[in-house]
Amino acid sequence: MTSANRKDQQPEGIDRRRLLLVLLIASVYFALFMFLPAGTWAWMKGWLFIAVFLGVMVVVALYLWRVNPEVVVARSRSHTGTKRWDKILMCFFLTAVYAIIPVAALDDGRFHSFPLPWWVCGIGYVLFLVGTAILTRAEAVNKFFEPTVRIQTDRGHKVIDTGPYAIVRHPGYVAAFFFMAGVALALGSLWALIPAGLSCVLLVLRTQWEDQTLQAELEGYKEYTERVRYKMIPGVW
């Protein structure tokens, strides 16, 4: 392979403007929806979570940029062709996900409704890290891992059946279950498990609809379902 060919195969650049916007929104989100509901800037569980979250995300980003830069670029850019049902479903899903932190802040930071011992928070961080590890592995082997449901004809979309995709068909959603439950517990909140649980229910629905879409529209996916029978939980579903 010539150097010219290698250059041609490099992924498009990251949408830096969109990335900076996301970082700005994240900063505002943490300020308004974590410490404002907590009623104090001295909520230590909140600061600890931010430190761990940002540290882990930096490590994950550097790792993915080394092993699969194309997925990093794809996830930093907007794309056309997202299914209409997914746009609607994601509005409800993201609302539930974004509610986890403020509910936890109200519960543990302000009202102290059901104080949890630190060892339970530790379990939360374990779940968070397990979810992050599964998600990162899925992104590392799947360059088509985008945040919305669409058939990526512009990117030569094809079935991925390696890594965690050899075990279940939607490992990213399995990771999300661990991730969201982990965030709620890491922040010391039982009440936050309610929006976390709701987001998991919505993910199950999305998994079903996405799988139906892929079987109907992505070449080779139906055959893939015969090799890998389960969507999320081996031996169950």
**What one-character-per-residue DSSP string does 103-144 give?**
HHIIIIIII-SS---HHHHHHHHHHHHHHHHHHHHHHHH-TT
**Are residues 116 and 192 in contact, defined by beta-carbon separation less than 8 angstroms?**
no
Distance CA 194, CA 125 (A): 18
Distance CA 48, CA 143 (A): 32
What is the full per-residue pLDDT of the chain (237 aa) written as tens digits? 433 343 444 455 666 676 677 777 777 888 889 999 999 999 999 999 999 998 998 899 899 999 999 998 888 777 889 999 999 999 999 999 999 999 999 999 999 988 899 999 999 999 999 999 999 999 999 999 999 999 999 999 999 999 999 999 999 999 999 999 999 999 999 999 999 999 999 999 999 999 999 999 999 999 999 999 999 999 999
84 dihedral zone (left: phi>0; alpha: psi -120 to 50; beta) = alpha
pLDDT of residue 15: 60
- Predicted structure pTM score: 0.87
**Cβ atoms within 10 Å, residue 81:** 11
pLDDT of residue 1: 40
pLDDT of residue 21: 75
Distance CA 156, CA 153 (A): 5
Distance CA 161, CA 182 (A): 27
Q: Nearest 5°: phi and psi at 82?
A: -65, 135
